[in-house]
Amino acid sequence: ADAESGKKDAGLRTITLQLNWFPEPEFGGFYAAKERGIFEKAGFDVQLIKGGADVPAPQLVASGSVDFAVVSAPQLVTIRARGGKATAVFATFQKAPRAMIVKRGSPFTTLKELWESESTVMAQDGLVFIRWLNKIYDGSKLSFVPYAGSNTPFVEGKVAAMQAFATAEPVQLEVDGVMTRVYMVGETGYNPYDGVVAVNDALLKAEPELVARFTAAVRAGWESYLAEPEPINKVIGGLNPDLKSSVLKLAGSKLRPFIESEGTRSNGLGWMTDGRWNDLLSQLQSVGEITKAETGSIGRIFVNPSTKSSGGS
Amino acid sequence: MTNVQVRLRAVEKVFPGGVEAVAAMDLDLAPGRVTALLGPTGCGKSTLLRLIGGVETPTAGSIEIDPLPQIGFCFQEPRLLPWRNVRRNVALPLELARASRETCRREADRRLEMVGLGDAAEFLPAALSGGMRMRAAVARAFIADPTLLLLDEPFAALDEVTRLRLDEEVAALVRKRSITVLLVTHSIAEAVFLADEVVVLSPRPARILDRFEIPFGERNAALRGHEEFAALQSRIYNVLLAGMEATS
Amino acid sequence: MTNVQVRLRAVEKVFPGGVEAVAAMDLDLAPGRVTALLGPTGCGKSTLLRLIGGVETPTAGSIEIDPLPQIGFCFQEPRLLPWRNVRRNVALPLELARASRETCRREADRRLEMVGLGDAAEFLPAALSGGMRMRAAVARAFIADPTLLLLDEPFAALDEVTRLRLDEEVAALVRKRSITVLLVTHSIAEAVFLADEVVVLSPRPARILDRFEIPFGERNAALRGHEEFAALQSRIYNVLLAGMEATS
Amino acid sequence: MKYPRIIWNSVWPPAVVVLILLSLWHLAVVLFSIPEFLLPTPWSVLERIYDQWPRLIAATGRTATATLLGFGLSAVIGIVSGSLLSLVPLARRGVYPLTLLLQMVPLVAIAPMLVIWFGYGLPSVIAAACIVSVFPVIAGTLDGLQSVDAGLAEMFRIHRAGRIRTWWSLGLPWSLPSVFTGLRIAAGLAVIGAIVGEFVGAFGGDQAPLGAVITSALKQNQTSTVFAAVTLAAMLGFALFGFVNLAGWLLLGRWHESAR
Amino acid sequence: MKYPRIIWNSVWPPAVVVLILLSLWHLAVVLFSIPEFLLPTPWSVLERIYDQWPRLIAATGRTATATLLGFGLSAVIGIVSGSLLSLVPLARRGVYPLTLLLQMVPLVAIAPMLVIWFGYGLPSVIAAACIVSVFPVIAGTLDGLQSVDAGLAEMFRIHRAGRIRTWWSLGLPWSLPSVFTGLRIAAGLAVIGAIVGEFVGAFGGDQAPLGAVITSALKQNQTSTVFAAVTLAAMLGFALFGFVNLAGWLLLGRWHESAR
Ligand SMILES: Nc1ncnc2c1ncn2[C@@H]1O[C@H](COP(=O)(O)OP(=O)(O)OP(=O)(O)O)[C@@H](O)[C@H]1O
Ligand SMILES: Nc1ncnc2c1ncn2[C@@H]1O[C@H](COP(=O)(O)OP(=O)(O)OP(=O)(O)O)[C@@H](O)[C@H]1O
Ligand SMILES: [Mg+2]
Ligand SMILES: [Mg+2]
């Protein structure tokens, strides 16, 4: 990001924020900040760039093609390990929303039982949490098939379980009349941040104050969203017509417990700790995601938003 | 052997572009007789052959052929399949008539011998000279024991010695088997030597200017020295010339 | 006008397959003279022309051409571009020599008139008869004012009347411009009528059997009635025949 | 034949077949009671197209822009590089096989580079459409140029025509049928290339092109929307294919067998 | 020319070009200090191939099976249906444009149907490879058959050769060059079709083919592994392409200009 670029007429600074998925309530805070003028008040004209199934958000922010991007914590670690230059500045989800789901009538009562069975699971085996589960359970009998966007094979019973975002797939399946049971991966000890806002290092280094101002606005956005999600959900629904309104509503209502935690109550939304990041690093190293040398090379991976409670002014 | 009778009545051919190639043509090919067509270049001779061969449809008039003939057609161009060697090109009509591989080979070699291509049997068409290609095409026209033979300037690309030899060969063959033959040629001598009747055409669109009944019986080399042979040639030449001068 | 001298010394051509087409050929084409090649079918005449034209390389011997000629080549097949009409086909050599569109058109029409294709200028090759295609090819060979003219049986597909007319046309033209000409023909009469020298070749591989100096000066229709004209023809025929019988 | 006649004649037979196929499809869905999320009825796809017309037509417009530009680039680059490869035999042997790479590298693998080099949205998608569709044009052009009639080539050599002249006056017209085979194949590939490019290329702005509609609807199990978007993409492809055919007919119609 | 000679002659020029390109690539990465996650050096890709050899070679084997079977199916189906379309003019006008659909429907859109009809693993992937690569063969065959020399066709008609006979003895040999253009294009498409098929329908984990290795490595930001897998896929494609070229040379070499 070039400091010269994008001064808009109103003196607003143009900022690009790459989302890693289609417009969904998971991005409610960002849309709230935009819709309710919080970004503008903070001096930004923010372009929220829609993501999609295969949009390489981590690469884009790490290479400076965008200023900010929403990524997952392990993605940020691995991209840094491979020379990417991006730093976490806000962690939307304090609790990992990653989950495995089975149909309600499934014979498996625990995640371990599922994992050590001889079933077929619809999940991308490159995902860290899958590798984590393989490490803590004996997944040698399990078969993996890719999750290519459609959950039809799950509904049709071609697979016993599928990967999910706890606030997305189960809700949508429920609306379509398929009841599920959700096993949170976070409860197995692997609980990284998610919905992490990462900034390109060059921008962070050049204008730390701007980044702080932006993070504060994001935090204000999320506070505003959690306070009154409905109007923002409507906006999101307009941007993503495929999202049924019932899904929107249900999903929106499930977000709060993932976003708020002990830490955020005292330090504000998006707060991160060394402990959580270091846990992640050692877990990633233990599943072979990164090498010891790479762990050493990662350096400062996050900068917290300011501890002052929000406001964005 | 059944002899094929061909009857053209008021046959006309106008090409899509508007070019009239054949105009109100009445023509009878008598069974077992050789008819030679002579006419100026571009007058419609090949078109007429293709009409009789059934690969072009007349825009008016009727063509009756009785009984259904086995056609041997030698086009004005060799039309050889570039991927087949000479033998297999010559054998094609037999192959299409479902003859055995053995028969194909034997018959093809026999015809190749006849046209003097015995030692080129394994060549691909690309390795043949122009005259050799045409001879292969002639061999192919003869291979399936045709009852109606349509020959479009088959020997135009041959030297005079070979041409005379093949003229005699063909004369003997068609007479022995009493094939109905329509021969297009530009050589008046060849026409007179081979044909029972010579038909002279006008410039395009082809109309019949005159017909000459050729009175000779047996055709052999001696005939060429005959006085009437030369006389007939010059009479025909004059008709052809007159026809061409009339229009130009 | 510079006259082109062509000198072949011990030229040999063996095709990759092992077929020997030309054997130890010595041949001089004198500037401004017409040399006619006569020889049995498949003996190597076209190959010889292609060697001189430089599109085939001799396997032994040397070919000198001096000075660099403007070649006009009429191949044994018409070789017309199917997507160009007759006029633009004929104009091709001029176009390749970067003549203006105007010149191309004018010159093409002039040559087409010469070969009697004036009214077919707009036709595509597919709509031409065999003889018309060859005439277009002849017109093309003449268009770029060649200094060396290589003609491979240019008139084989023409009726006798047209052929004689074109023979006279060509005779007049090449003599007026003193073009060096090598003509392949199967018509002995044509060879004698057009050429200053007639070279008779043996069957493959082509060797020179005999050469005939043609003593006539001016070439015109009257010549054909000349007694020596007929005598020369039959002498040449006998040499050709003897050559072919010697090998078969 | 007049143009309208030709267009009509090339439209009604596939239209009839499409109608038959649609009926069969409908019947199959009804008879085997295939659930909607697996395969919607043609009718509900139509309904969806009607419902979401403004969104879908805007999406189609975006995808069409990328497809056409990508295809245009492919056509130009393909013909030019196919010709260069044929003019320089060593390049042909050395480089031609490698152009195949363009077709074999999955776009997702190079997606970050695409976006970083070409920029967001349209440019990346155009690049994707072009990458995916250029090889058939190269192959068609090259194969056509390699099979120029030896006799005609000889004639050009005798007249000392330069390589470029020979290419222009002989090679190119001779290869047109084969170039058009390549272009016909490229037409379909440009569409899918654009769509897959839209899967991976990120998008600014408010409205998504067809590729984004497809992934987003897929994610929400809106199968009829997926099919609606696919249908519009197919229409786009057919239009492009029809245009290529028409161009081929205009260029070859007068002389080439294939256009009869 | 003897076979080993031919193979050698068609291998060294691209090999040299590859080496040059690899050097440039390496230089570019070093000079512009392109980060590894975006574009690894060729060297680290090689390292990765060496490291993960057992896993990658097994993956390549699986992908190769699917590619070859898919390509084989494409070749057979393409030539047969191209021929049928050419034999029945109405079918040609009605059905040919629709075969384009195969090429334009994104695999992800029909992935659910694919896996439900064909099952996960090899069958789906073969189907994907075939769907993606069949159109060029159809187009090549059809275009070849449509441009059969009118004079030769006339000769066959005079001899009252049936349609099948004419197809076999005239149409097919005449179209071979154009069929091979189609097959050359299909070779690359079969590889990418298999890979994309594996993105949506192959087993992962221990049974992962290259496509699954790629998606899994992409998720882990292991760009060098992605490139390693892509490299092996490309090798596979080159081998198939080379095989098609060799077959073409053997079938056409004796008579067709394009094989000189
Ligand atoms: N490309 C080739 N490969 C192998 N042999 C060839 C090739 N071209 C010609 N030949 C052979 O060379 C010999 C001479 O051919 P050429 O075309 O020169 O004959 P020609 O004298 O012109 O005959 P014609 O009067 O029939 O035209 C023939 O026997 C022919 O089979
Ligand atoms: N397909 C076609 N379309 C339009 N005109 C054609 C077509 N084929 C032939 N012609 C025209 O029909 C006339 C007769 O052609 P045809 O081939 O029958 O002549 P020909 O008598 O065989 O001549 P030649 O002795 O030169 O072979 C010619 O003027 C030619 O231009
Ligand atoms: Mg004719
Ligand atoms: Mg010759």
CA distances to A30, D225, E242 from D26, rounded to whole Å, are 43, 16, 44
Residue of chain E whose alpha carbon sits nearest to that of A74: E220
Residue B45: pLDDT band with limits 50, 70, 90: very high
Instruction: Name the DSSP class of C109.
Output: H
CA distances to A215, A258, A280, A301, D153 from A193, rounded to whole Å, are 16, 10, 9, 12, 69
Question: Is pLDDT above 70 for E108?
Answer: yes
Quick one: CA dihedral A41, A47, A49, A50, positive or negative? positive
CA angle D85, D90, D95 (to 5 degrees): 55
Please measure the distance between the N-terminal and C-terminal CA atoms of chain E and give it in whole angstroms.
11
CA distances to A27, A151, A226 from A251, rounded to whole Å, are 11, 17, 12
What is the average pLDDT across E40-44?
A: 91
Please tell me the predicted confidence (pLDDT) of residue A246.
82
pLDDT in tens, D49-66: 998 898 899 999 999 999
Sequential DSSP letters for E23-77: HHHHHHHHHTT--TTT---HHHHHHHHHHTHHHHHHHHHHHHHHHHHHHHHHHHH
* Interface predicted TM-score (ipTM): 0.91
Please tell me the predicted confidence (pLDDT) of residue D3.
64
Please tell me the predicted confidence (pLDDT) of residue A312.
38
pLDDT in tens, D86-125: 999 888 888 988 899 988 989 888 888 888 888 778 898 9
What is the average pLDDT across B42-55?
A: 93
Cα A25 to Cα A32: distance, rounded to the nearest angstrom: 10
Cα C215 to Cα C221: distance, rounded to the nearest angstrom: 16
Amino acid identity, position E218: L
Q: Do E113 and D38 touch (CB under 8 A)?
A: yes
What is the average pLDDT across B25-41?
A: 91
pLDDT in tens, A229-283: 999 999 998 888 888 888 888 888 888 999 998 888 888 899 999 999 999 999 9
Residue A1: pLDDT band with limits 50, 70, 90: very low
Q: D233: which chain E residues are within 8 Å (Cβ-Cβ)?
A: 104-106
Residue A311: pLDDT band with limits 50, 70, 90: very low
Smallest Cα distance from E9 to chain D, Å: 8
Cα A294 to Cα B161: distance, rounded to the nearest angstrom: 91
Strands (E), C82-220: 148-152, 180-184, 197-201, 208-213
pLDDT in tens, B201-213: 999 888 999 999 9
Question: Is pLDDT above 70 for E171?
Answer: yes
Residue A6: pLDDT band with limits 50, 70, 90: very low
pLDDT in tens, A110-132: 999 999 999 999 988 788 898 89
Cα E181 to Cα E193: distance, rounded to the nearest angstrom: 18
Residue of chain B whose alpha carbon sits nearest to that of E168: B96
Domain CATH number, residue D179: 1.10.3720.10
Residue A4: pLDDT band with limits 50, 70, 90: very low
Domain that holds residue E245: 41-259
- Please tell me whether the peptide bond between B40 and the residue prior to it is cis, using omega within 30 degrees of 0: no
What is the average pLDDT across E147-161?
A: 93
- A and B: touch, per 3+ CB pairs < 8 A? no
What is the average pLDDT across B217-243?
A: 87
pLDDT in tens, A32-91: 999 999 999 999 999 998 887 778 889 889 988 899 999 999 999 999 988 889 999 999
pLDDT in tens, C152-210: 999 999 998 999 999 988 888 888 888 899 999 999 999 999 999 999 999 988 899 99
Is position D13 within any domain?
Answer: no
What is the average pLDDT across A94-109?
A: 91
Smallest Cα distance from D237 to chain A, Å: 23
**Å from CA of B153 to ligand 2 middle:** 14
Contacting partners of chain B (3+ CB pairs under 8 A): C, E
The minimum-distance atom of ligand 1 relative to the CA of B129 is 17
The minimum-distance atom of ligand 1 relative to the CA of C40 is 25
**Å from CA of B237 to ligand 3 middle:** 19
Smallest Cα distance from A238 to chain D, Å: 10
Question: Listing from the earlier edge strand, what are the strands of the sheet with C20-29?
Answer: C20-29, C5-14, C60-66
CATH superfamily of B5-70+148-246: P-loop containing nucleotide triphosphate hydrolases (3.40.50.300)
Residue of chain C whose alpha carbon sits nearest to that of D176: C83
Sequential DSSP letters for C26-76: EEEEPTT-EEEEE--TTSSHHHHHHHHHTSS--SEEEEEEES---EEEE-S
Q: A239: which chain D residues are within 8 Å (Cβ-Cβ)?
A: 206
The minimum-distance atom of ligand 2 relative to the CA of C123 is 31
**Å from CA of C41 to ligand 1 middle:** 9
Residue C148 backbone phi and psi in degrees, to 5: -130, 120
Strands (E), D82-219: none
Question: Is pLDDT above 80 for B15?
Answer: yes
Helix, strand, coil % in chain D, rounded to nearest 5: 85, 0, 15
pLDDT in tens, E176-187: 999 999 999 999
Interface of E with A (CB under 8 A): 35-38, 108, 111-112, 115-116, 120, 198-208, 212, 215-223
Average pLDDT over chain A reads: 88
| Least CB–CB distance from D254: residue in C54, C81, C124 | C124
What's the pTM value of the predicted model, to 2 decimals?
Answer: 0.92
Cβ B130 under 6 angstroms from ligand 2: no
pLDDT in tens, E191-248: 999 999 999 888 888 889 999 999 888 888 888 999 999 999 999 999 999 999 989 9
C240 contacts chain B (CB < 8 A): yes
Question: Is pLDDT above 70 for E72?
Answer: yes
Q: Do B41 and C153 touch (CB under 8 A)?
A: no
Nearest to E41 by CA among E228, E235, E237: E228
Please tell me the predicted confidence (pLDDT) of residue D220.
80
Please tell me the predicted confidence (pLDDT) of residue A7.
45
Please tell me the predicted confidence (pLDDT) of residue C121.
94
Q: How many CB atoms lie within 10 A of CB A307?
A: 9
Is position E62 within any domain?
Answer: yes
Share of chain C above pLDDT 90, in %: 71
**Å from CA of B185 to ligand 4 middle:** 19
Please tell me the predicted confidence (pLDDT) of residue A52.
76
Q: C44: which chain B residues are within 8 Å (Cβ-Cβ)?
A: 129
Q: How many CB pairs under 8 A join A and D?
A: 90
Residue whose CA is closest, atom 26 of ligand 1?
Answer: B131
Contacts of D216 (CB under 8 A, 6+ apart): A22, A52, A240, A242, D208
Question: Is pLDDT above 70 for D188?
Answer: yes
Total domain count for chain E? 1
pLDDT in tens, B186-202: 999 999 999 999 999 99
- Yes or no: say if A126 and E217 are a contact pair by the CB < 8 Å rule: yes
Contacting partners of chain A (3+ CB pairs under 8 A): D, E
pLDDT in tens, B111-157: 999 999 999 999 999 999 999 999 999 999 999 999 999 999 999 99
How would you classify the pairing of strands C208-213 and C197-201? antiparallel
Residue whose CA is closest, atom 7 of ligand 1?
Answer: B127
Q: E90: which chain D residues are within 8 Å (Cβ-Cβ)?
A: 13
Smallest Cα distance from E60 to chain A, Å: 18
Cβ B56 under 6 angstroms from ligand 2: no
Structure tokens at C224: 């054909």
Cβ B108 under 6 angstroms from ligand 2: no
Is position D19 within any domain?
Answer: no
